[in-house]
């Protein structure tokens, strides 16, 4: 939350997408990381989508992050 003192701590992550080099074939990827969710019941979920182009090629990424957060002060 913008302007708050909360600190998010990721405990799981999933990112998948495709990098397509200029003049080349698409190269798909999938990265995952997970550990058990904390038992503090302060849990949340965020998603992301990003598309980037450069001289090297095009990258498209979709992902999700599961977080635990500290209480607000």
pLDDT digits (tens, 9 = 90+) for 25-72: 999 999 999 999 988 888 999 999 999 999 999 999 999 999 998 876
Contact 61, 15 (CB under 8 A): yes
Q: Cα–Cα distance between 5 and 3 in angstroms, integer?
A: 7
The side-by-side arrangement of strands in the sheet containing 57-69 is: 27-34, 8-21, 57-69, 43-53
Q: Cα–Cα distance between 42 and 44 in angstroms, integer?
A: 7
* Number of C-beta neighbours around residue 22 at 10 A: 10
| Domain ranges, ordered by start, for the chain | 8-30+49-64
pTM of the prediction?
0.75
Give residue 16's pLDDT band: very low, low, confident or very high (50, 70, 90).
very high
């Amino acid at each position: 939350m913008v302007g708050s003192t909360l600190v998010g701590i990721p405990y799981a992550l999933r990112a998948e997408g495709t990098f397509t080099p200029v003049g080349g074939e698409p190269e798909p990827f999938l990265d995952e990381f997970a550990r058990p969710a904390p038992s503090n019941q302060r849990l949340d979920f965020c998603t992301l989508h990003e598309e980037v182009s450069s001289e090297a090629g095009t990258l498209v990424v979709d992902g999700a992050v599961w977080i635990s957060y500290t209480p607000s002060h």
